[in-house]
Amino acid sequence: MKNFTTLSGLLAICISLILSQNMYAQTSACTFVSPAVELNFTNTDVNGNCIVNVDLSFTININNGNKYTVLHLWSEATYPNPSFAYSVSNPPMSSQNGGNGALDDALATLIINRNTNPATLISSYTNDPSIDDNIQPCVNQVKDLTDGLILQTTDVGSGNVFYLIKNLTLVYPGGCNQAIKFKGDAWSSNASSLNVQCTMIGFTYLSNIPTMTAVQTCERNGNPAQYQFTVSTELPDYSVDYSVDVYADVDSNGEFNPFIDNQPIASYSAASLPDVSAGNPYSIPATTFSWSPTHNNNPLFFILGNIAVTNTTTSQVTIYGNTIITTTVPDCTVPLPLNNVVITGAREGMVNRLYWKVPADETRYAIEKMVTGSDRWIEVGVERPKETTATGEYEEYFYTDLENKECLYRVRAFNPDGAYAYSNTVKMSSNHGTADLQIFPNPANSGQVTIIASLPGEQTASISIVNPLGQVVRQYPNVSSGPITLSQLSSGIYYVLMYSGQHEKVIKTLAVN
């Protein structure tokens, strides 16, 4: 299951939302349509910040031949205030070399070269190359193919090109247990010198309030295709109003394209759905659908829109012009669960926590687990009906499991007559830590330095010592956790780079006096 957040309308075929387009001296408004961000995963780094991995997509009109497009992303809290005043000769820069400082707190800069076929990502920002060095305030801000990005393009006609940038990693300040809100600017240029010709500033999106889980079952053996979904939020002090639209994955590729995936399945207005808050999710029961004689088992896109978030502590209401989308892939081997059981899970310290909310009846729930590397589900617990809950009301179930390995969980719902069915499956990551390294003494008063690598489990890493010219002066492949002693280093500044087997990159600075 995939979740992603669109930053504007999904054209007339989806949800009509309008992004403000601000005009500044000597620039016009760019024609950007349906920018979207697909949230792949989040985790917390050793500094307590949230690592967010996303796929970024949007549609651009060539605007009379604009060949280069630049996107800047900030956290909403660090977005320039007031907004940066773009002009032909005034692009955003860092303050490192006396620039305007607009990019000092930016999370990423992306530069697309449409002058090539296919389009490519440029690895240097012509207006200010310093944003991609290892010196504060901007460190490695330009993201390109060397950062693992994948660029895909689709010509959708009438001068419009749909772009998908996959595997973009952003470091969001603070932990992942907060409302993650981004704000961005986009602008285009005809020249490789990147003079600003048109702009679209201040688009925003909220990525994790609310969230949705969904189940889709196959059309087979005379049984119709069905779906069921649950909307919830795990963050306290929020109440969310929303609408839901369901669309078919017309080309069956699992990636939402508003120009192609325009077959409506169902629509639920905000007035017809109750608000959700922490501990009070809302579920739509199993619903039959049919849109094609042969393609009803294609994936579905569930679109959360018209999102209004109320802070229940301050009573402040915020309207968001984005939508949150969940993609389902039907499981053609498992029937829709009894009571439409949809479980959610999270890693909390040393334990895994599962949660589900269902109507009260005589159904019991067996929790099953399968550890990665095994092919066998084992039963680890049974939850019985709660005697104090009246029939017709809702019951909440929580299950806690002490497990430090990566594993899958599911719930088997079964009735006294022996009938049973399974919930969705959730995956829990292992309790492995994050790769890190320590250097001491630092700064060093002699040419002898000790580096200690900390690696999760039995991972190994490659460590390189690089001078300011980019030259590798020492290299240590296949390093396990433990110390490395360096000697006979000349005076100067060095960068210590460690790449682990899990594609984590750790960079530290070393000074030798």
Q: For domain 211-328, give its CATH number from 3.30.1560, 1.20.1300, 2.40.50, 2.60.40.
A: 2.60.40
The sign of the CA dihedral 15, 16, 17, 19 is: positive
Cis before 82 (ω within 30): yes
Greatest mean pLDDT range, 62-71, 90-99, 449-458, 500-509: 90-99
Neighbours of 200 (CB within 10 A): 24
Judging by DSSP bridges, how do beta strands 28-29 and 198-206 pair with one another? parallel
Q: By the 8 A CB rule, do 7 and 203 touch?
A: yes
Q: Which helix (H) or strand (E) holds 389?
A: none
Distance from first CA to last CA of the chain, Å, rounded?
A: 52
Q: How far is CA 287 from CA 217, 281, 452, 471, in A?
A: 10, 18, 56, 61
pLDDT of residue 289: 96
In the structure, what pLDDT confidence band is assigned to residue 25 with cuts at 50, 70 and 90? very low
What are φ and ψ of residue 416, in 5° steps?
A: -60, -25
User: Exposed, middle or buried by CB within 10 Å (0-12, 13-18, 19+), for 70?
Assistant: buried
Per-residue pLDDT tens digits for 85-105: 988 888 999 998 889 999 999
Answer with the residue of higher pLDDT: 511 or 275. 275
- Tokens, residue 49: 């910040």
Angstrom distance (rounded) from CA 245 to CA 250: 15
Per CATH, 338-428 and 436-512 having the same topology is answered yes
- Where b means 16+ CB within 10 Å and e means fewer, 413-446 reads bbeeeeeebbbbbbebeebeebbbbebeeeebee
- pLDDT(20) > 60: no
Contacts for 415 with CB less than 8 Å, ≥ 6 apart: 338, 362, 363, 364
Fold of the domain spanning 338-428: Immunoglobulin-like (2.60.40)
Q: How many CA atoms lie within 13 A of 42 on its CB side?
A: 23
pLDDT (average), residues 428-452: 72
- pLDDT(466) > 70: yes
In the numeric block, the tokens 């905000």 are attached to 270
Per-residue DSSP letters for 252-310?
-SSS--TTT--EEEEEE-GGGS--EETTB-EEEEEEEE---SS-TTS-EEEEEEEEEEE
Q: What is the CATH number of domain 436-512?
A: 2.60.40.10
What is the SS3 assignment for 481? coil
Domain boundaries, the chain: 2-206, 211-328, 338-428, 436-512
